[in-house]
Amino acid sequence: MKIEKLLIANRGEIALRVIRTCKKLGITSVAVYSDADKNACFVKMADEAYHIGESEASASYLQIDRILEVCKRAEVDAVHPGYGFLSENPVFAEKLKQNHIIFIGPEPESIRQMGSKSLAKALMSQHKVPVVPGYNGESQDEKLLLEKAKEIGFPLLIKASAGGGGKGMKLLEREEDFSNALSSAKREAMNFFKDDHVLLEKYIQKPRHIEFQIFGDKHGNVKHLFERDCSVQRRHQKIVEESPAGLPTELRKKMAEAAVNAARAISYVGAGTIEFILSEDLSFYFLEMNTRLQVEHPVTEMVTGLDLVELQIRLALGESLENMKWPEQTRGHSIEVRVYAEDPENKFLPSIGVIRDLHFPSGQDIRIDNGVEKGSVVSIYYDPMIAKLIVKAQDRANCIDLLLNTLKSSYVFGLTTNINYLTHIISHPEFIKGNVDTGFIQKYISSTEQEDIHDDLNILLAYSYIVSFVRIHVENLNNYVVPLGMHNHDILPGSGQDSFSISDDIFSEKMEFRYKSQYYSLSLIGKGGDRDHSYFVVAIQSDDKLQEIQVPALKTYGRRRIITNKNEEIDYLRYGTRFFWHFSGKTYSFDLIKKAETARNRGDDSYFSPMPGKVLKMFMQEGEEVKEGALLLIIEAMKMENEIKANRDGVIKEVHVKEGELVPQDAPLLTMEAV
Look at residue 557 in the predicted model and tell me its pLDDT. Answer: 65
Residues 405 and 538 occupy one common structural domain: no
Is the pLDDT at 654 greater than 70? The verdict is yes
Partners of 274 in beta bridges: 212, 289
Q: Is the peptide bond preceding residue 244 cis, with omega within 30 degrees of 0?
A: yes
Asked whether residue 151 is assigned to any structural domain, the reply reads yes
Asked whether residue 119 is assigned to any structural domain, the reply reads no
Reported as a pLDDT band with limits 50, 70 and 90, residue 485 is: very low
Burial of 166-190, coded b for 16+ CB within 10 Å and e otherwise, reads bbbbbebeeeeebeebbebbbbbbe
Judge whether 292 counts as a catalytic residue: yes
Is the pLDDT at 388 greater than 60? The verdict is yes
- State the pairing for strand pair 28-34/5-8: parallel
Work out the angle at residue 103's Cα, subtended by the Cα atoms of residues 218 and 328, and round it to the nearest 5 degrees. 45
CATH number assigned to the domain comprising residue 32: 3.40.50.20
Ranges 194-208, 223-237, 600-614, most confident: 223-237
- The DSSP string of 331-381 is -SEEEEEEEESEETTTTTEE--EE--EEE---BTTEEEEE---TT-EE-SS
Q: Of these residues, 208, 234, 292, 338, which one is catalytic?
A: 292
Largest CA distance in the chain: 84
First CA to last CA distance, the chain: 74
Asked whether residue 123 is assigned to any structural domain, the reply reads no
| Between residues 564 and 451, the one the model is more confident about | 564
Look at residue 19 in the predicted model and tell me its pLDDT. Answer: 99
> Of 202, 227, 261, which residue is a domain's last?
202
Residues 262 and 410 occupy one common structural domain: yes
Residues 17 and 82 occupy one common structural domain: yes
> Of 444, 467, 497, which residue is a domain's last?
444
pTM, two decimals, is 0.80
- State the pairing for strand pair 668-673/606-608: antiparallel
CATH number assigned to the domain comprising residue 150: 3.30.1490.20
Q: For the packed helices 117-126 and 108-115, what is the interaxial angle rounded to 10 degrees? A: 100
**Distance (Å, rounded) from C-alpha 197 to C-alpha 515?**
44
Residues 503 and 587 occupy one common structural domain: yes
Domain count, the chain: 5
Residues 32 and 161 occupy one common structural domain: no
CA distances from 270 to 316, 318, 480 (A): 7, 10, 64
Residues 269 and 161 occupy one common structural domain: no
Residues composing the chain: 675
Residues 394 and 477 occupy one common structural domain: no
Look at residue 482 in the predicted model and tell me its pLDDT. Answer: 32
Is the pLDDT at 563 greater than 80? The verdict is yes
Asked whether residue 109 is assigned to any structural domain, the reply reads no
**Distance (Å, rounded) from C-alpha 519 to C-alpha 537?**
19
Reported as a pLDDT band with limits 50, 70 and 90, residue 7 is: very high
CATH number assigned to the domain comprising residue 644: 2.40.50.100
The whole-number average pLDDT for the span 606-635 is 89
Reported as a pLDDT band with limits 50, 70 and 90, residue 80 is: very high
Element containing residue 300 per DSSP (H, E) = helix 297-304
Is the Cβ–Cβ distance between 110 and 116 less than 8 Å? Answer: no
Is the Cβ–Cβ distance between 341 and 415 less than 8 Å? Answer: yes
Burial class (CB within 10 angstroms; exposed 0-12, middle 13-18, buried 19+) of 419 = buried
Among 62-76, 188-202, 420-434, 527-541, the range scoring the smallest mean pLDDT is 527-541
**Please, which residues have CB within 8 angstroms of residue 478's CB and are 6 or more apart in sequence?**
none
Residues 307 and 384 occupy one common structural domain: yes
**Distance (Å, rounded) from C-alpha 392 to C-alpha 361?**
14
Residues 330 and 376 occupy one common structural domain: yes
Work out the angle at residue 11's Cα, subtended by the Cα atoms of residues 294 and 363, and round it to the nearest 5 degrees. 65
Is the Cβ–Cβ distance between 670 and 652 less than 8 Å? Answer: yes
Instruction: Tell me the average pLDDT of the chain.
Output: 88
- State the pairing for strand pair 385-393/411-413: unpaired
Asked whether residue 188 is assigned to any structural domain, the reply reads yes
Q: What is the pLDDT of residues 589-617, one digit of tens each?
A: 998 875 423 333 334 478 888 777 889 99
The whole-number average pLDDT for the span 337-357 is 91
CA proximity to 332, closest of 362, 358, 301: 301
Q: What is the pLDDT of residues 85-108, one digit of tens each?
A: 999 999 999 999 999 999 999 999
Is the pLDDT at 381 greater than 50? The verdict is yes
Asked whether residue 264 is assigned to any structural domain, the reply reads yes
Residues 256 and 277 occupy one common structural domain: yes
Look at residue 674 in the predicted model and tell me its pLDDT. Answer: 83
Asked whether residue 113 is assigned to any structural domain, the reply reads no
Q: Which amino acid does the sequence have at 500?
A: F
Q: Which amino acid does the sequence have at 344?
A: P
Residues 186 and 212 occupy one common structural domain: no
Q: What is the pLDDT of residues 131-140, one digit of tens each?
A: 988 898 889 9
Residues 478 and 530 occupy one common structural domain: yes
Asked whether residue 587 is assigned to any structural domain, the reply reads yes
Q: What is the pLDDT of residues 267-308, one digit of tens each?
A: 999 999 999 999 999 999 999 999 999 999 999 999 999 999
CA proximity to 366, closest of 409, 330, 327: 409
> Of 444, 473, 491, which residue is a domain's last?
444
Note down the domain range covering 49: 5-104
